[in-house]
Amino acid sequence: MNEDALRHEAADWLASNWSGERSDAFIEKVVDAKLAAPSWPIEWFGRGVSSECGQVVAQEFAKVGAPGAGQDITNLWANTVLAFGTDELRAEHIRDLMLGRTNMCLLYSEPGAGSDLAGIQTRAERDGDEWIVNGQKVWTSMGRNADYAFLIARTDWDVPKHRGISFFFLPMKQPGVEVRALRQATGDSRFNEVFLTDARVSNANMLGDLGQGWSVLQTALAYERAVMGESSRRRKASDGTEAEEGKAVRSAGDEANAPIPDLSLVELAQTMGRNADPVIRQQLMALHSLVQVNQWNGQRAKAELEQGTSSSIVSLGKLAMSRILHTAGSLQAKLLGAEAMIGGNDSPRAADATYSMLNAFFTSIGGGTDQIQRNIIGERVLGLPREPEVDKGVPFSQVRKASVAER
């Protein structure tokens, strides 16, 4: 099927099925019509078309504000399971992951392994058909509500650090998993620390081969950064909690309806009577340019991102979105002037500006820090020399940090 035929089919289908009301029932229809992930194989809810061809469906959904499409790019969970899971694991979980029925979280970072994820010390030891997991993870979003987690754990201490890691689809609802909330500067508690004490996961839930978890992780991170590179800030719900905290971003259609910071700030400038200020106008235009260029880079990354692969271009989008949010938050406060110093219910606009500035650090840290993205861009996009690696080729058991760990 060519792009024009698929575009017309998607448009006709939306005309018959989209009422303007977002619902789980509608998402189920999208999945059943094989419009949620057109570039996936036919046997796994796709149509087997190219990723470029499949993007026209997401474009048609975005035109009318309909959710559910574009999951072959933005659904981190289902894409990773499809690329690296067994057929049994795919059959059990992919549909629910596409429908958002399974709550997920990421168990990657540790207190001593954040920017250098390959330095993780959470360990998994084989016990028959299962693995026993012990360790601690931190900065885990949505951990309190998660049914399953993507977990990286060390399964071999006698090889260099990148080669001794395996990737698991870990059940979270078990006695060996303890989740504790971490309160942020914004007042939210999106992040958690997770303690794993003799937690168990089936060998059948390993994604990829034993010791090849680093390769799986790179693909999963690429999908995560692609989503974060497109996303704008998430506003708090009226009760002060994060809207839909337990839900993963499911589709490009969902993200198309997110507030775009440069547009909302134009409205604020008009409200405050500062839209004629040449300095403000210049700053608004600079922000708009960043948003536009980031959208183009997002399209470029999507064209490179194929099933089971990663693209360094997504780091450009991730870093750009971080800058966009920091710039937008600062400009929002500047437009409010002295009012921006008022907190709480006395000034909802000021409270929102403060929240925006503080919440921008979420994107600067989550999914790989801004510094990590700059390293990736420098080395893999610009071709600059790699940073020195003093532990390259050294068995992890002999690395100084690992040598004192209790194993």
DSSP-derived secondary structure letter, 360? H
- The lowest-confidence range among 162-166, 343-347, 401-405 is 401-405
pTM of the model: 0.77
**pLDDT attached to residue 313:** 78
Residues 3-99: name the CATH superfamily. Answer: Acyl-CoA dehydrogenase/oxidase, N-terminal domain (1.10.540.10)
The pLDDT confidence band at residue 226, using thresholds 50, 70 and 90, is low
CA distances from 6 to 33, 57, 73 (A): 12, 7, 17
Mean pLDDT of 292-296: 86
- The lowest-confidence range among 313-317, 327-331, 356-360, 370-374 is 313-317
Residues 223-381: name the CATH superfamily. Answer: Butyryl-CoA Dehydrogenase, subunit A, domain 3 (1.20.140.10)
**pLDDT attached to residue 308:** 55
Please check whether the two domains, 3-99 and 104-213, share a CATH topology.
no
| Token output for 232 | 């704008």
Instruction: Compare 74 and 170 and report the one with higher pLDDT.
Output: 170
| pLDDT at residue 31 tops 90 | yes
Residue extents of the structural domains in the chain: 3-99, 104-213, 223-381
**pLDDT attached to residue 261:** 61
Mean pLDDT of 222-247: 48
Q: ∠ at Cα 371 (366, 374), nearest 5°? A: 110
Work out the number of other CB atoms within 10 angstroms of the CB of residue 179.
Answer: 17
Mean pLDDT of 293-316: 73
- The lowest-confidence range among 100-104, 221-225, 253-257, 344-348 is 253-257
In this structure, are residues 243 and 143 in contact, taking their beta carbons and an 8 Å threshold? no
- Residue from 321, 336, 352, 322 nearest 268 by CA: 336
CATH class of 104-213: mainly beta
| pLDDT at residue 130 tops 60 | yes
CA dist., res. 119 & res. 154, Å (int): 9
- Residue from 273, 369, 297, 282 nearest 327 by CA: 282
- Residue from 201, 116, 191 nearest 166 by CA: 201
**pLDDT attached to residue 381:** 86
| pLDDT at residue 405 tops 60 | no
Mean pLDDT of 264-284: 93
- DSSP symbols for 70-134: -HHHH-HHHHHHHHHS-HHHHHHHHHHHHHT-S-EEEE--BTTBSS-GGG---EEEEETTEEEEE
Q: At what angle are helices 24-32 and 87-99 packed, to 10 degrees?
A: 140
**pLDDT attached to residue 237:** 34
Mean pLDDT of 58-85: 94
